[in-house]
Amino acid sequence: MEALIADRKLKIGDVAQRSCLSVKTVRYYEEIGLLAPTVERSESGYRLFDPSVINRLAFVRRAQSLGLSLNEIRDILKISDQGELPCQEVKQHLASKVEEINQQITALEILKSELQQLLNHWQDRPSSVQFNTKICPNIQRESP
């Protein structure tokens, strides 16, 4: 009976090849619980995956490419595993990512402005006093 079930299941090498992931990554995803309902162990201890794991791994890869963490992805998959559509949860996570990106953009704009100010006031040949007291006087401010 195990041989019959195993025929419909995928071994880890097949899963890795079909999902374009390394065996190590598939193993890691299983260890942290991302693949829970799609993997079982044979009597001899081999990982056997339901073919639906390919779709699950495609979701994980896409969610990661959108900036979701593995913990966030695991939470979303738990909702899906309960038979619910997790789209609202995904939407909330993506909205949070947009807000984080907006904050990063603001921080980068401030940094860009500061860098531009430094470059606008750049001195290729600082005074000898500055040379003796600073490593690069152009970026080091006067001590209070």
Whose tokens are 């339901």? That residue is 50
- Can you give the pLDDT at residue 52? 94
User: In this structure, which amino acid lies at residue 49?
Assistant: F
Res 1: pLDDT:
42
The stretches in the chain having pLDDT less than 70 are 1-7, 129-131, 142-144
Query: Do the Cβ atoms of 12 and 48 come closer than 8 Å?
Result: no
Give the model's pLDDT for residue 143. Answer: 59
Predicted local confidence at residue 7, as pLDDT: 59
Burial of 23 (0-12, 13-18, 19+ CB in 10 A): middle
Q: Report pLDDT for 130.
A: 66
Query: How does pLDDT run across 66-91, given as a tens digit for each residue?
Result: 999 999 999 999 999 999 999 999 99
Report the relative pairing of strands 10-11 and 39-41 from DSSP bridges: unpaired
